[in-house]
Amino acid sequence: MSTRLYLGGPVLLVGAGGIGSEVSHSLLEVFEGALTILDADTIELSNLNRQAFFEEKDIGGGKAEVLAREIEKRSENRIAAAWKRKDVRDNEFTPGFFRQFACVISCVDNVESREHINAMCVLAGVPNIESGSSGYLGQVCPIVPGVTECYVCSAPPAEEQHPVCTIRGVPASWAHCVHWAVQEFLPQVEALLERSAGVEEGDVLEFLGKYAEKMRIDGLKKTLMQLSGKDARKLDFIQDISARRAYPHAIAVQSERETLKILEKTVPSVISSNSIIGAVVVAKLRRIREAKEQRAIYLSANSKIRAVEMLAPFGGCGVCSLSLHDLFLPETSTLWDVVKKACSSGVPEETTITKYSSSGRGSLLYDSDFTDNEKMSLSVLGIPTGTILKIYTPRSAHLVYVNIV
């Protein structure tokens, strides 16, 4: 009999894909309480073989919504699951949003989202269990603000390989188009060829109609009519389909050589790796608020599992060295009121204010050469509760969390 896991507060699961699904399986075994699932993605055919909560009827639906519904049903409401079909990098997900959770579980598939979740959790003081996998490799890092190193302190190597989970609803790069051609389109073509020994023109037209919005289809009919299942794997066919996929999204077509490189680097998302990672995440969830020592877990290529103690925060870390102060301001406050309140011992001449962003590209609101916004109210400037402002003076840099009262 398993011991129930109750954290005393809600848990946020970011990412309802390969790892998110496996984490959910483990949560179903033991977790009790409120869970919020955040994911902007749509369920696609290629997800079904390794994301076991989704069925064919769910294709086109939101991952977060379907996963939340299934968790509630299968847990017989022991887990109260809420969901948001949004990108975690949206403005609304401020430290104020993260503060409401006892713990965050990060199962996202890109570095930008990881960095954003990391910064928000460190600023909000909320533990974050950071996870990832690529083929047979994987890791789980329990990050406790002020106690352990964070995701940026430990600076993992850049993601050189292309996990196949980069097949996106909307492609953003040539690699996404190639993955889509191989993982999403080719299996459909093969199924079409299998169904009818000699492909009828009507079948092909119906098939093409399904893809009219996803890719350029003019001239594709002839190619498909000539295809045999064996030829379908040829590089020139993949190149052709990738280019058709790239066209409506204004992505530059790259050489066959580049396509081949992408195919060689493509690693399958391995469900057994994700299962192990999912189980480790939930084991970490049990320890993260009590244990003094936290250990990261790594799956390596030879299937060995290593535990490595998490270090203390790195003093020079651009995230861990930040501190966040709450500022409470009336609705009518101007930007200048914010500066005065933040710099209580007087505002130095060389002061700069930007909107904080975890990517380091916050927009400029004020400096000694740009004073236009000084007397404008926060509402006119689009600064609601939850906005973080970074205030630099010659002596210091600090972050303030705006609370409109």
CA-wise closest residue to 135 among 174, 161, 156:
161
* Rounded Cα–Cα distance for residues 17 and 111 (Å): 15
Residue pair 58/45 in contact (Cβ under 8 Å)? The answer is: no
- CB nearer Zn ion, residue 24 or residue 358: 358
Q: How far is the CB of 149 from Zn ion (least distance, A)?
A: 6
* DSSP letter string, 264-290: HHEE---HHHHHHHHHHHHHHHHHTTT
* Rounded Cα–Cα distance for residues 94 and 386 (Å): 6
Q: How far is the CB of 397 from Zn ion (least distance, A)?
A: 16
Residue pair 10/102 in contact (Cβ under 8 Å)? The answer is: yes
Q: How far is the CB of 110 from Zn ion (least distance, A)?
A: 19
Q: Report the residue from 124, 150, 193, 288 that binds Zn ion according to the rule CB under 5 A.
A: 150
Among 63-71, 128-136, 150-158, 214-222, the segment contacting Zn ion (CB under 5 A): 150-158
Q: How many residues bind Zn ion (CB under 5 A)?
A: 6
Helix (H) or strand (E) holding 34: strand 33-38
Beta strands (DSSP E) in 125-185 are 128-134, 137-143, 162-163
What are the b/e assignments for 344-365, b being 16+ CB within 10 Å? eeeeeeebbbbbbebeeeeeeb
- CB nearer Zn ion, residue 143 or residue 175: 143
Q: Is 143 in the site for Zn ion (CB under 5 A)?
A: no
Q: How far is the CB of 314 from Zn ion (least distance, A)?
A: 6
Site string for Zn ion, 360-389 (x = CB under 5 A): ------------------------------
3-state DSSP helix/strand/coil percent for the chain, to nearest 5? 35, 20, 45
Site for Zn ion in 221-250 (CB under 5 A): none
Site string for Zn ion, 294-333 (x = CB under 5 A): -----------------------x-xx-------------
Q: Is residue 312 packed enough to be buried (19+ CB in 10 Å), middle (13-18) or exposed (0-12)?
A: exposed
- CB nearer Zn ion, residue 147 or residue 317: 317
Site string for Zn ion, 151-170 (x = CB under 5 A): -xx-----------------
Site string for Zn ion, 167-196 (x = CB under 5 A): ------------------------------
- CB nearer Zn ion, residue 7 or residue 319: 319
Which residues contact Zn ion by CB under 5 A?
150, 152-153, 317, 319-320
